[in-house]
Structure 1
Amino acid sequence: HKLHSKSIDFVLAFPQADLEEDIWMQIPQGVTIESEDGEPRLLKLCKNLYGLKQGSNNWFKHLKKGLMTRGLKPSEIDPCLYLKEGLAVLTYVDDCILVSSDQKAIDELVDSLKNGEEKFLLTDEGDIDKFLGIEINHFEDGSFEITQPHLTSRILQLLGLDRNNEWKSSTKSRLLPSEQIILHRDSEGEQRKYTDKWNYRTAVGMLTYLQGNTRPDISVHVHQCARFSIDPKRSHERAIIRIGRYLLTSRERGIIYKPDTSKGLECYVDADFAGSWQKADAESADSVMSRTGCTQ
């Protein structure tokens, strides 16, 4: 749809919010405050400091109020997504992205946040090129691609594959995770744990964040490996390495979104879950399961 975008960062976000109650703290060591009656003194907080247990909630309420007074309403699906006719605002703590088909609507909102009756201290970072570690590349036809090359590089570094040049020139299909990885709790009677060269759970966590954002092509295999995070064996370690080797030859890949006015929905069923979970009978292929229920 060739939408315009802008990224803003709220400077010292938490202290911008008001405290809803009186909060007192002990005087820090090294600071001496004398009192006439000799009784110990306390300090009263004037700002919503980072580290307060209610700090995040105070900032959330403050930002929500500021956006709603400017005509935006939180989405029923995601309370951090605010919508207004022709304008969408997505917040993540002190990071915020604005998207609209009208550049003027974006500029007016940013100006209102900076100079309105209830001002916010913020930095205008211009057109979106990165958000939460996800790189966004824009193309002239209005399409854009999201990638996570830095996270991919960190995963390869964790697995020790960034130093292995053997796989960089190889793009054979045997590296693609197209064949289903069927893992067991004790594969082939294997009793040995993985080698502890790297943290298995850390690798699974990083791969999960990667596949959930920009690399759905590895999602099935990451989920298989995640099932054995409590007690991984050497076979599970080799499966993680296999995924890493595939990423090594495709670290720049991502998802491309193209302008399209169609609203069709395509669903693929019968993914052979029986093969994945070693069940006797295959799952039914005449229905699709979603997070909100099942539909025929």
Structure 2
Amino acid sequence: MNSSDASQWMVAMQEEIIALHKNNTWDLVPLPQGRKPIGNKWVFKIKRNGDDQVERYRARLVVKGYAQKEGIDFNEIFSPVVRLTTVRVVLAMCATFNLHLEQLDVKTTFLHGDLEEEIYMLQPEGFEEKEKKNLVCRLNKSLYGLKQAPRCWYKRFDSFIMSLGYNRLNADPCAYFKRFGENGFVILLLYVDYMLVACPNKDHIKELKARLAREFEMKDLGPTNKILGMQIHRDRSNRKICLSQKNYLKKILSRFSMQDCKPISTPLPINFKLSSSMSPSSEEERMKMSRVSYASAVGSLMFAMICTRPDIAQAVGVVSRYMANPGREHWNAVKKILRYIKGSLNVALCYGGSDFLISGYVDSDYVGDLDKSKSTTWYVFTIAGGAVSWVSKL
């Protein structure tokens, strides 16, 4: 509220409060004896588009879920999200069969979930009702921050989409499909509040959007160009779709001061071996290495590896074995991977062509690990010319 953007943040908060009241999220009631209300706080975020331009200011009222007691405030909390393999397979289908691909976003997603437990919360800071300051909010709907909020939303959405005649994919609980006649179908992928819809007939997408809009407050994002921080570049005339993380990888290089490094052509040199004998042996060495963001760098690379970069899977697998006690040589290996990333920022997974063929490849390095005398096995499956599933593990 002291910043130069205070007016934008105020508008964002008021929009959130209006949405909460509109959704009948809570009722003001006296606090029952023996119960303790959970606190809340405002979380602010500037949403940016694919070109890193400011899209909108967003304020969220978030419950302090860490204060919840199991068995009183929550029971089950698990909620699935769509598998990245499924997303890539659907993108390959869209490229090969020239399907329409659109994205949707659910506004105030977790407010749609119906609560099964009795939960009390303090009134939101800055929006307390003057005559009712002694009352607390009894939640009717789930809120951001509640441990069970993702589960409540998934159960609500799942029951609704199944009522429309959609089937859930056995291999992925967040992938739904519906057939229309012999050749018509709609595929819907759900990642929390984000939906990807693929279909050969645009009228079926319009019908689905209309039904969803009647049930939930939706935001139509039009043709897909981004998903989970990955850029989707589509060339419909040549039936090609490319998936990349160029912007994300640039941020990683900048975060670890490697934006001006000298690029190299491979993630790790041939016959390059790491072992635990390279870990620090003295307290002085450990103190030096504790100032290095080793785990953060490996974690950042790991996200790129599971999304769009199978080419660094083996190298990231090797350096991730030494997170507990990394040495100088281990850190140099991480920097080598970053240097390889610098020289391959434009590398992307590309799907397309007329053949929708699945190919699988597997290999092993035969006792390549010096510490445990284990092998690293590796496989990759490709569809329509691009990798959709891969693993490199000890």
Shorter chain as normaliser: what TM range? 0.7 to 0.9
Residues 1:66 and 2:160 aligned together: yes
SS of corresponding position for 1:125: strand
SS of corresponding position for 1:126: strand
Query: Aligned to 1:224, which of 299, 305, 318?
Result: 318
C-alpha deviation, 1:198, in angstroms: 4.0
Tell me how far apart the structure 1 counterparts of residues 225 and 248 of structure 2 sit (CA, whole Å). 16
C-alpha deviation, 1:215, in angstroms: 1.0
Q: Which residue of 2 aligns with 1:160?
A: 257
Residues 1:128 and 2:224 aligned together: yes
- The letter for the 2-side match of 1:206 is S
Task: Summarize the Cα distance change of 1:282–1:185 in structure 2 as closer, same or farther, 3 Å threshold.
Answer: closer
Q: Which residue of 1 aligns with 2:365?
A: 272
Task: Summarize the alignment of residues 5-24 of structure 1 with structure 2, pairs less than 5 Å apart.
Answer: 5-24=101-120
C-alpha deviation, 1:158, in angstroms: 2.4
* Superposition TM-score, scaled by structure 1 size: 0.81
Query: How big is the alpha-carbon RMSD for the aligned residues of Structure 1 and Structure 2?
Result: 3.1
Tell me how far apart the structure 1 counterparts of residues 102 and 304 of structure 2 sit (CA, whole Å). 24
The 8 Å contact of residues 362 and 380 in structure 2, kept in 1 or not, is answered as: no
SS of corresponding position for 1:206: helix
Query: Aligned to 2:149, which of 46, 55, 70?
Result: 55
Tell me how far apart the structure 1 counterparts of residues 305 and 190 of structure 2 sit (CA, whole Å). 22
Tell me how far apart the structure 2 counterparts of residues 63 and 32 of structure 1 sit (CA, whole Å). 36
Residues 1:149 and 2:246 aligned together: yes
Number of residue pairs the alignment of both structures matches: 275
- The letter for the 2-side match of 1:90 is L
TM-superposition CA deviations, 1:193-252 (whole Å, max 9, x none): 464554111111111110111111111000000000111000000000001111111111
Residues 1:108 and 2:202 aligned together: no
C-alpha deviation, 1:15, in angstroms: 1.3
Considering fraction of residues, name the structure with more strand.
Answer: 2
Tell me how far apart the structure 2 counterparts of residues 211 and 157 of structure 1 sit (CA, whole Å). 18
The 8 Å contact of residues 2 and 259 in structure 1, kept in 2 or not, is answered as: no
- The letter for the 2-side match of 1:128 is T
Q: Which residue of 1 aligns with 2:197?
A: 98
The 8 Å contact of residues 181 and 224 in structure 1, kept in 2 or not, is answered as: no
Residues 1:249 and 2:339 aligned together: no
Larger RCO, structure (CA 8 Å, separation 6 or more) = 1
Tell me how far apart the structure 2 counterparts of residues 254 and 243 of structure 1 sit (CA, whole Å). 17
Tell me how far apart the structure 2 counterparts of residues 214 and 12 of structure 1 sit (CA, whole Å). 29
TM-superposition CA deviations, 1:76-98 (whole Å, max 9, x none): 11111112222211111111111
The 8 Å contact of residues 225 and 232 in structure 2, kept in 1 or not, is answered as: yes
Q: Which residue of 1 aligns with 2:278?
A: 187
The 8 Å contact of residues 361 and 380 in structure 2, kept in 1 or not, is answered as: no
Tell me how far apart the structure 2 counterparts of residues 149 and 235 of structure 1 sit (CA, whole Å). 27
Task: Summarize the Cα distance change of 1:216–1:190 in structure 2 as closer, same or farther, 3 Å threshold.
Answer: farther
